[in-house]
Structure 1
Amino acid sequence: MKKNIILKLAFLGLALTAGIACSKEQNNDLEPVLKPAVNDTILNINYESGEVTSGVTGITGTHAPAADAVSVTSPGSTGKYAIAHKVTLGDNVYFSDGSYRSESDAVTLAKYRYIPGDEHRYEVSILLKDWQQWNSANPAYGDNVFQLKMSDNQLLPLRILTKRNAVVARDYQYQDNLITDYRPYINQWIKFRIEVKWAMDETGYMKIYVKLPDQSDFNLVLERNNFITFTGSPAVGNVGYLKWGVYREAGKNADGSVITSDNVLTRIAFHDDIRIIRLPLK
């Protein structure tokens, strides 16, 4: 499927010369933002229940067995509570689903999934807790903090991760900076807004906005138009869903064990105000 998608994009000339990939953090591309009506909101997780599921039956807190892999922390981004995920490389109590990760998800709940034809806004607030900066003497491994996924785990529509000292967006073809240097914002809430038309052809789009702690509103930092966004196959039951938490990328030794000597061992991220909103707003 990957070969077919890439060939199709190449044939259509969608090397994204028609799109915009930028790392601007000024207000030059600010678009008017409408507030969603109550019936536009599909999912609203704010953790004010004090539970790692935010009181929503079917939301996963984590699959990692460590007692502190997931917890509720205070204060949150806009309220009393948020969720905290922790992962330590090389410690198997933070290993789940084939990787060192601790992530929440909504995959079991059909009403929170996405399929071709859906048009959604996703919002999330993220705090990088005591996030150690990248040591340039070490490899530039990535740490994922938010994902829009396919259930076949093949071509992912979007991952937001830290790499080197930047926050980047990565999809099945491209990687772009969203924040060129996150270090001034460690231990502060960063807000992300992603707008997507889910499509298996060139009618799709994805826009990513960021609101830094010192900014008064969201700014458009990445836009892709005429873009395949739904990369799975509904014919075989593939669905899209969102995940948030910490997923560690790491190097491997010859025996398959994780290289820990050149990595920051422990990562903790807080998440709050996770929303899915139906577009266009009415």
Structure 2
Amino acid sequence: MKKTQINQIKVAIVALFFIGAACKKKESTSNQDETVNRADTILNVTYENGALSSGITGVTSTNATAPDAAYMVKPAGNGSNYAIAHKIVFGDPAYESDGSVRSESDAIAAANAKFYPGDERRYEFSVLLKDWTPWLSGPTYETNIFQLKVSGNSTSGSGVPLQFRTARNAMRLRYEGSSSIKDIIPDLRLYVNQWMHFRVDVLWKDDATGYMRTYMKLPGQSAYVLVDEKTNYRTFAGDVKVGNLGYIKWGVYGTQTGLTRIAYHDDIRIIKLPLK
């Protein structure tokens, strides 16, 4: 009888060991979301080869004609060898593209980077606002630094589901049609010339069943923090039946009289969700 009890105890201990190991493994896997490097990653723009396209077919650098509208920064100051810089100068047509003051990269021609209703994706990017001139007074001139955009065509308009924009001295999220605006960094002056990191998880839907969650990790923070969330929400601002498709853009777009804007971008990444 005593021997049977001892054997039962041994079996119980072994079972607990395997349960504990399984739980630990599951927890470890779920915490790897910041270092995903498996098949989940469908676009990874690191610029580590020193090319303005990061060597990726379908990634562009800028349509502005100025030689320094887009250029490589080495070292990047964030642990990387390279990052891309975009520059605009108000009043100089060499820093204009499609009739606006802007210099932006995009991945509209990268097949894996496009998104459509039903896709679930994570978008990440890092940005440094180089010698960013603070706002003092007057109108709010906003500058785009990253966009989740839907293309338009001759028969149908479309929208921009999400924009990261500087406005006065704040960083804000602007949703499609300006239906919602939220300032997520009240005072950007605290972080000029420092790397900031952002993440957006999205379920792309053309009806009110999607979601969009935005996170950020500021200098001094060790983990991403949720800063805004929309659920039961129409995230795809377009119509695929007439050719609308989703893509990403990053750089600088828009400024006010007399200002030059420069932003560095690095580690632009798109990841399939849910993680495997």
Q: TM-score, normalised by structure 1?
A: 0.82
Task: Please give the alpha-carbon distance, in whole angstroms, between the structure 2 residues aligned to 1:185 and 1:95.
Answer: 27
1:233-258 per-residue CA deviation (whole Å, 9 max, x = no partner) reads 100010000000000055xxxxxxxx
Task: Please give the alpha-carbon distance, in whole angstroms, between the structure 1 residues aligned to 2:129 and 2:253.
Answer: 13
Which one has the bigger helix percentage?
A: 2
| 2:162 corresponding residue in structure 1 | 158
| 1:20 corresponding residue in structure 2 | none
| 1:48 corresponding residue in structure 2 | 48
Task: Please give the alpha-carbon distance, in whole angstroms, between the structure 1 residues aligned to 2:123 and 2:150.
Answer: 16
> Which amino acid counterpart does residue 174 of structure 1 have in structure 2?
S
Task: Please give the alpha-carbon distance, in whole angstroms, between the structure 2 residues aligned to 1:122 and 1:192.
Answer: 8
| 1:59 corresponding residue in structure 2 | 59
The correspondence for 2:263, drawn from 269, 272, 275, is 269
> Which amino acid counterpart does residue 68 of structure 1 have in structure 2?
D
Task: Please give the alpha-carbon distance, in whole angstroms, between the structure 2 residues aligned to 1:164 and 1:99.
Answer: 20
Task: Please give the alpha-carbon distance, in whole angstroms, between the structure 2 residues aligned to 1:128 and 1:37.
Answer: 27
Report SS of the residue matched to 1:79.
coil
Gaps of 5+ in 1: 1-30, 251-259
Quote the sequence identity (%). Answer: 52
1:108-146 per-residue CA deviation (whole Å, 9 max, x = no partner) reads 12221000000000000000000011112x211100000
Count matched residues.
239
> 8 Å contact 1:37–1:281 — kept in the other structure?
no
Task: Please give the alpha-carbon distance, in whole angstroms, between the structure 1 residues aligned to 2:54 and 2:239.
Answer: 31
What is the CA-CA distance between 1:154 and the residue it aligns to? Answer: 3.4
Task: Please give the residue correspondences for 1:1-282 in structure 2 after superposition, counting only pairs within 5 Å.
Answer: 34=33, 35-76=35-76, 77-136=78-137, 138-152=138-152, 154-172=158-176, 173-250=179-256, 260=257, 264-282=258-276
Task: Please give the alpha-carbon distance, in whole angstroms, between the structure 2 residues aligned to 1:212 and 1:123.
Answer: 14
What is the CA-CA distance between 1:33 and the residue it aligns to? Answer: 6.0
> Which amino acid counterpart does residue 44 of structure 2 have in structure 1?
N
Report SS of the residue matched to 1:192.
strand
What is the CA-CA distance between 1:214 and the residue it aligns to? Answer: 1.2
What is the CA-CA distance between 1:74 and the residue it aligns to? Answer: 1.8
What is the CA-CA distance between 1:32 and the residue it aligns to? Answer: 5.7
Gaps of 5+ in 2: 1-29
Q: TM-score, normalised by structure 2?
A: 0.84
> 8 Å contact 1:43–1:277 — kept in the other structure?
yes
Task: Please give the alpha-carbon distance, in whole angstroms, between the structure 2 residues aligned to 1:58 and 1:110.
Answer: 8
> 8 Å contact 2:104–2:253 — kept in the other structure?
yes
Q: Displaced runs of 4+ in structure 1, greater than 3 A? A: none
Q: For the aligned residues, what is the CA RMSD?
A: 1.4
Report SS of the residue matched to 1:226.
strand
> Which amino acid counterpart does residue 108 of structure 2 have in structure 1?
V
Q: Which has the higher contact order (CA 8 A, sep 6+)?
A: 1
> Which amino acid counterpart does residue 168 of structure 2 have in structure 1?
R
